[in-house]
Amino acid sequence: MHRPMPLRNGATESPLRTLVLLLTSPIDCEAFSLWCQYRVGCDVVEWATNLEEGIECCRRIQPRLMVIDPSIGCGAVERAVALVREESAGHLLVLDSRPMEVRLAAILGEPGTSYFSRTASPQALSAAMADMLLNGRRVFDPTLAPRIRRTERGYQLDYAGEQRSISILSQREQQVMRLLAEGRTVKQCAEMLGLSESTIDNHKSRLMKKLGIHKSSELAVRAIRDGLLIV
């Protein structure tokens, strides 16, 4: 865990204006800390390039905003969302270096979460972060916002044709898809999941229909594209 450079002009930290960074490299963290101070007007109290250290830091400091790059560690977004649920962080900003629909869809149902690509314009990102810090408002990357709609059930991501994400699959269907994408046979999937081969076949048929996939060979491509399978 690291502290960033001293606050500007010896200012004291404000619990309503502080944030914790969980990014993948020290250079990223230091650069983003300075950017936050001068473009957003908020103070980065600590940063980490290790997921476990970052989680512990948030529980200790309980920052107004936590910024996390999903590639910092396996299950990073899920664990960060849990911190918001337990009120160890006021708001979560997922700052994705590899934007994926499945990650965005996964947090849409979670209050206190926002999502931006690291390729977003500095103006859009700084305005969004100020809105999160001052008003607690959820903000989404401008390139994705037009596809996000608010319903009685909360925020939802619109899918069109082949762009439908694996987030529409059940947990079991995602498990089956991952194993098949890894090259496992139906028999191997059945043995690994403790299910019958016919049940695996049914899951396979349903998930392919949901995703609009017509060939088994397309499973790996979609799994990689949506982040279910890392290569």
**CATH (domain of 207):** 1.10.10.10
Say what the pLDDT of residue 156 is.
72
* Domain end position, chosen among 157, 186, 201: 157
Model pLDDT, residue 3: 57
| Residues 34/57, Cβ–Cβ less than 8 Å | no
**97 located within any domain:** yes
Question: What is the domain count for the chain?
Answer: 2
pLDDT at position 8 is: 40
Task: Based on the fold, state whether residues 138 and 180 are members of the same structural domain.
Answer: no
For residue 2, give the DSSP letter.
B
Identify whether 118 is part of a domain: yes
Rounded CA gap, 137 and 7, in Å?
25
Q: Is residue 23 part of a domain?
A: yes
- Domain of 59: which CATH number? 3.40.50.2300
Q: Does 176 fall in a domain?
A: yes
Question: What pLDDT is stored for residue 158 in this prediction?
Answer: 67
Report the interhelical angle of 186-193 vs 171-181 (nearest 10°). 130
Measured CA to CA, the distance from residue 30 to residue 146 in angstroms comes to 32
In terms of residue numbers, what domain contains 173? Answer: 166-225
Six token digits for residue 104: 């965005």
Same structural domain, 143 and 42: yes
Together in a domain, 147 and 194:
no
Divide the 231 residues of the chain into consecutive groups of 10 and give the mean pLDDT of each group.
47 57 89 89 88 91 92 89 90 86 77 90 90 89 80 68 66 91 92 94 90 81 72 48
Pick the last residue of a domain from 122, 157, 192: 157
Asked if 102 contacts 166 with a C-beta cutoff of 8 angstroms, the reply is yes
Residue ending a domain, among 157, 183, 215, is: 157
Pair 120, 217 in one domain:
no
Same domain, 121 and 182: no
Please tell me the predicted confidence (pLDDT) of residue 165. 66
**Do 54 and 98 fall into the same domain?**
yes
